[in-house]
Chains A and B, each alone.
Chain A
Amino acid sequence: MNHLAVIQVIIPLLSAPLCLLLRWRTGAWLIALVATWTTFGVSIVLFRTVTLHGAITYDMGGWPAPWGINYHIDSLSALVALIVCGIAALTLAYAHKSAKHEVRPESLRAFYALLLICQAGLLGIALTGDAFNMYVFLEISSLSAYALIGLGQRRRALRAAFQYLIMGTIGATFILIGIGLLYSLTGTLNIQDLAARVVLIPESAYGHRTLITAFAFLTVGFSLKLALFPLHLWLPNAYTYAPSVVTIFLAATATKVAVYMLLRFSFCILGKRFVFEQLTLGNILLIPSLAAILIASLVAIFQYDIKRMLAYSSIGQIGYMTLGISLNSHAGLSAGILHMFNHALMKGALFMVMGAVAYRTGSVYLSDFRGLGRRMPWTMAAFVIGGMSLMGIPLTAGFISKWLLVEATLEVGWWPVTGVVLVGSLLAVIYIWRIIETAYFNPRHEIEHGTDEAPLSLMLPMWTLIGANIYFGINTTIPLQMAKRAATMLISGGTL
């Protein structure tokens, strides 16, 4: 049973070379499909095990930490792993037709292999208990992401991939510097061991300045990876020009895992007291979060490429997550973590809609949505519900996390912040409404070539995510409980 911790990462990791060995392209997709669904099953089992029995530890190579690398899976890790695996499974089911349509045929096998490696990298980050191992798997997921984005059809995809490569590597190097500084103070790389040793360096002691510097570099590195304003510059281009399947996967998972890293390092290693009270991480995160929510949502309103609009919307939503963290309260933290889960559902579904529209009409400009409400009724209905979730309308998942966030801001008495959250939702209404209006209410100006509804293999995963949006909007017990447990665990310093 305890081998499952490793199996969750090994299955996608080793299925990737298998994809390359077959000459049959659909075979590569099948291998990837089986791998992602098996991993999803494993992640559900692990999630339940952690919920019922508490954290799991697994020593790689049989060597105990801190001499060997170990996997440490607690409530936050299990939740993030569940998100990644679930999205991966649905994306792979979706990918068959979409990837064939958008990616060059000779690159398809490498495409599926890279997707699997990206998933393995993200899972490795979430499950590991060793800081340097986290860096290695961060680079695995980043490198495969750069390549995947570069496989987009337009030449701008190459430029976007290169820009992401430069910024992402700078971020990763900053993280490496931070880990090195922490290592120089403590002599260990294991996260729990680091936590125990860092606590022994009080404020006036020798070593404190290094700790502050490590914190600074780690935070900047993580912020680059999670696209916190103003370090978000790589995200709009990367999401817009990547193949639809890649955008779905990355938008729903990659930035969440970066938030996870920030949480893990801030709360578990450096400690809440140090990070929030001494260094006021709350204030440091607050302004960029608010800026992200307002500015990104504003910019989204003016975009004509709808994928780009959703990319800017993502930057705003990440602002909500970091806002929850900056409140430095249990409620705020739970809201932020729950929003990680809900946003994956929302954005995954919305980008799947984009992929379906691209599959049928060939592009995703606002003008292409004209009359789509009649020609692709199910797809647009999915967009409406996903949009409602984004706006935070009751009965959808998005409403729950927005509501919790508002409650948390009211709890600490920061009225202006509550205002910003509500204004952000209002802006979301505006940019979603543009699409709905064009799709349903625009009179036909010219003869549009008849496009049918999207094929079933694209619709089923899309509606599964939409269904999840509605289900978790009505009955949010499971993710909410896990988010609250994770928040408790983080605030208490990572011992659960």
Chain B
Amino acid sequence: MELIIDITLLTFLGLTALAINRIDKLFCVIMLSGIYSLLCASLFVTMDAVDVAFTEAAVGTGIATVLLLSTIGATETEQRSAPHRPLFALLVVCVTGAILVYGTMDMPAFGDPNAPIHQHVAPRYVQQSQHEIGSDNIVTSILSSYRGFDTLGETVVIFTAGLAVVGLIGFRGMQKFGDRQRAAGVTQNEMEQHLVLRIVIKMFIPLILLFALYVQFHGDFGPGGGFQAGVIFASAFIFYTLMSGLDAAMRVVSPRTLSYIAALGVLLYGGVGIATMLMGGNYLAYNVLRHDPLHGQHLGIFLIEVGVGTTVFSVMVLIFFAFSSRKGLRQ
């Protein structure tokens, strides 16, 4: 049964990829890439990677599609040029693919429990993490504690994306959006007429926010954590923007405030590490935060997840605001 699902999903993925290559209308391409992401997420679920599936669905399908759509909203909706040098590219691609296939010949069979990667580092995580960190979700234990430094890097990557958008697009451009709308005589948000949308969104926003908080704090016991929670929290704001317009949304929380929140999130994460150094441990060694190491781990993980969640949320909303505010320019 599992095998059939696996093969079906993989086939659909292949078809979607080929379709993305052939189609010229960018709107269709972006929708297909969203479908591709969702299929990947489903595939991850069948392969037991639930946290990864959650993140791929939220981040890959959700955020990436939203940003891509905002971009074509502000630029162009159809691809014009023909593929250039397709034969040479095909050659490069076939050679690369062949080398990779050659490389996988020696790899362990799919699902083999005796593969090297299941023998060496992973067993300690599976067997000891409950005892050393106290979390049921092994992925959270590794992400936040054992390999917490990587996650700091990841948070900085998101912050960098936010910085890039702030630096390249700028606050001023965003704030002038309201003026441009008024100058163009657009007084009403275009979505206001869609009554069903407005009512449904109004009902959903509090539920979404609550769910985001649940995902944030429940990451220890089930799939979840700071990244997914931050994205879901941001999606509530995106919904609100769709409903009431960018101007109103930017009055709820201004881009400048969002940039401060993002900076504070990164500083919180890094600050926890500095605190542990000051208390005698190594960087990000949560054991020293409390008398009982397990409590220390819980506190440390809690704090850094809050840091991650706030940075992710603020950067995602900031980028969305920045991209949406360009739309006014095309008109």
Contacts and interface: CB of A to CB of B under 8 A. Distances in A.
- Are any A and B Cβ atoms less than 8 Å apart in their complex? yes
Interface of A: 3, 6, 10, 13-14, 16-18, 20-21, 58-63, 66-69, 104, 106-107, 110-111, 113-114, 117, 120, 124, 130, 132-133, 136-137, 139-140, 143-144, 146-147, 150-151, 177, 181, 183-189, 197, 206-210, 212-214, 216-217
Contacts of B116: 184-187
B302 interface: no
Given A58-B283, A63-B146, A184-B115, 20 more contacts: A3-B283, A13-B156, A17-B262, A17-B267, A20-B163, A20-B166, A20-B259, A20-B262, A21-B263, A60-B284, A61-B146, A107-B170, A114-B164, A130-B150, A136-B153, A140-B160, A144-B163, A144-B164, A146-B164, A147-B167
Given A62-B285, A186-B120, A17 B168 contact: no
Given A68-B147, A187-B116, A17 B283 contact: no
A107 B163 CA distance: 9
A184 B267 contact: no
A133 B286 contact: no
Tell me whether chain A's interface is mostly helix, strand or loop, or mixed: helix
B120 A21 contact: no
Contacts of B149: 60-61, 69, 133
10 contacts: A6-B282, A14-B267, A17-B263, A17-B264, A114-B163, A117-B159, A140-B160, A151-B167, A185-B106, A213-B102
Interface of B: 99-100, 102-108, 115-122, 124-125, 145-150, 152-154, 156-157, 159-161, 163-164, 166-168, 170-172, 259-260, 262-264, 266-267, 270-271, 273-274, 277, 281-287
Contacts of B106: 185, 206-210
Contacts of A117: 156, 159-160, 163
B325 to A, nearest CB: 14
A136 B155 CA distance: 10
Contact of A107 (B104, B167, B263): B167
Given A17-B264, A139-B157, A209-B105, A216 B283 contact: no
A164 to B, nearest CB: 13
B283 A6 contact: yes
Closest 10 CB pairs of A and B: A213-B103, A110-B167, A62-B285, A187-B120, A147-B164, A17-B263, A136-B153, A187-B117, A60-B149, A14-B270
A140 B260 CA distance: 20
Given A10-B274, A18-B267, A60 B148 contact: yes
A10 B147 contact: no
Given A20-B163, A114-B160, A147-B164, A61 B148 contact: yes
A62 B147 CA distance: 10
A14 B153 contact: no
A66 B121 contact: yes
Contacts of A10: 270, 273-274, 283
B172 A136 contact: no
A211 to B, nearest CB: 8
A184 B120 CA distance: 11
A68 B128 CA distance: 13
A61 B283 CA distance: 5
A187 B153 contact: no
Contact of B147 (A6, A69, A124): A69
Which of A21, A60, A111, A207 lies at the interface centre, i.e. has the most chain B CB atoms within 10 A of its CB? Answer: A60
Contacts of B105: 209-210
B40 to A, nearest CB: 15
A305 to B, nearest CB: 23
